[in-house]
């Protein structure tokens, strides 16, 4: 039985309303359980997403790490809150990823990646990324000091994914999947503008082409584009709101691997679709909410 964990951001929600949640999704039974309702009121309500909702998800032993915009929450596997951690250089966090006893977090509001030491439970790594000529450069900084990068969102870094080859990062404006090997930053592959969740996959690359409403798998010889699920407009709610305040239908974000051939991807209104890359088709989908504001953010296989 396969269960996924998904987080959501309710874009355009107002103070006093729920603005995100955490869900366990049993794909076989098509059963959805909301395990956390994130209705905290002490956030910045500007813009559509801003500080709303919950973001990336990662695991370490029996601990579940879930990022908000500027705070890292730690739960046990029953979602009992254990701790939370803040850092002045963490803002508008998107995806997070565990690699070799460190949890990496994208700090979109600083064009940076932070590292959280899972053994010492402290922020221990910081790298600010910026354009440099025709390429990119990274400037390391100590996230526990007051000296670090100024707020900025030039690259809109939204994804981090680590392998032995290095740290892969990408964002809406990086125009490619970048890899940092500990010495230098190189463009590993080109990407269209406006992507989420880009990562190496098999002999190619996998990503949400959010602006074009496709999940894309680029192989060494062919590229396959899978359309994001569409919905009957009559089922959608909160469509009377100004378009600029809400997530549009078909906004693709959230991605996880179930096997060498099957992946799951998220979209809005909060929907999770399974794709069989061998059969080159979507196989099933589960919709958590028809509220057009409610958008999937983090998506992972539930390991417990």
Q: What's the number of domains the chain is made of?
A: 1
> What is the pLDDT, as a whole number, of residue 208?
97
Separate counts of helices (H) and strands (E) for the chain: 0, 25
Q: What is the CATH number of the domain that holds 234?
A: 2.130.10.10
Owning domain of residue 213: 3-301
Convert the pLDDT of each residue in 137-161 to its tens digit.
999 999 999 899 999 999 999 999 9
Both tokens assigned to 294: 């409610």
Convert the pLDDT of each residue in 168-183 to its tens digit.
999 999 999 999 999 9
Low-confidence ranges of the chain (pLDDT < 50): 13-14, 16, 41-49, 244-245
Distance set, CA 49 to CA 82, 154, 157, 216 (Å): 26, 17, 15, 24
Please state, in angstroms and rounded to a whole number, the distance separating the CA atoms of residues 198 and 172: 10
Please state, in angstroms and rounded to a whole number, the distance separating the CA atoms of residues 67 and 276: 29
> What is the pLDDT, as a whole number, of residue 49?
45
Both tokens assigned to 2: 């396969």
């Amino acid at each position: 039985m396969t269960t996924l964990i998904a987080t959501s951001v309710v874009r355009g929600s107002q103070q006093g309303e729920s603005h995100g949640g955490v869900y366990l999704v049993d794909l076989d039974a098509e059963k959805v359980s909301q395990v956390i309702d994130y209705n905290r009121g002490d956030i910045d309500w500007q813009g559509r997403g801003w500080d709303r909702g919950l973001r990336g998800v990662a695991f370490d032993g029996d601990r579940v790490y879930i990022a908000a915009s500027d705070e890292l929450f730690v739960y046990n596997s029953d979602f009992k809150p254990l701790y939370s951690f803040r850092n002045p250089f963490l803002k508008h966090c998107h995806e997070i990823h565990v690699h070799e006893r460190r949890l990496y977090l994208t700090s979109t509001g600083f064009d940076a990646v932070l590292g959280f030491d899972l053994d010492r439970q402290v922020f221990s790594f910081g790298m600010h990324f910026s354009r440099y000529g025709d390429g990119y450069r990274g400037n390391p900084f100590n996230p526990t000091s007051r000296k670090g990068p100024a707020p900025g969102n030039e690259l809109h870094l939204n994804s981090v994914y680590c392998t032995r080859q290095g740290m892969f990062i990408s964002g809406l404006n990086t125009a490619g999947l970048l890899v940092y090997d500990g010495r230098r930053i190189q463009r590993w592959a080109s990407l269209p503008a406006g992507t989420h969740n880009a990562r190496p996959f098999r002999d190619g690359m996998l990503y949400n082409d959010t602006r074009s409403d496709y999940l894309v798998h680029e192989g060494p010889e062919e590229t396959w584009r899978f359309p994001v699920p569409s919905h009957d407009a009559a089922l959608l709610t909160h469509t009377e709101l100004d378009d600029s305040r809400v997530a549009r239908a078909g906004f693709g974000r959230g991605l996880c691997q179930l096997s060498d051939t099957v992946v799951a991807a998220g979209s809005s209104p909060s929907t999770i679709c399974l794709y069989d890359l061998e059969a080159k088709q979507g196989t099933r989908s589960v919709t958590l909410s028809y509220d057009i504001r409610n958008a999937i953010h983090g998506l992972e296989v539930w390991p417990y």
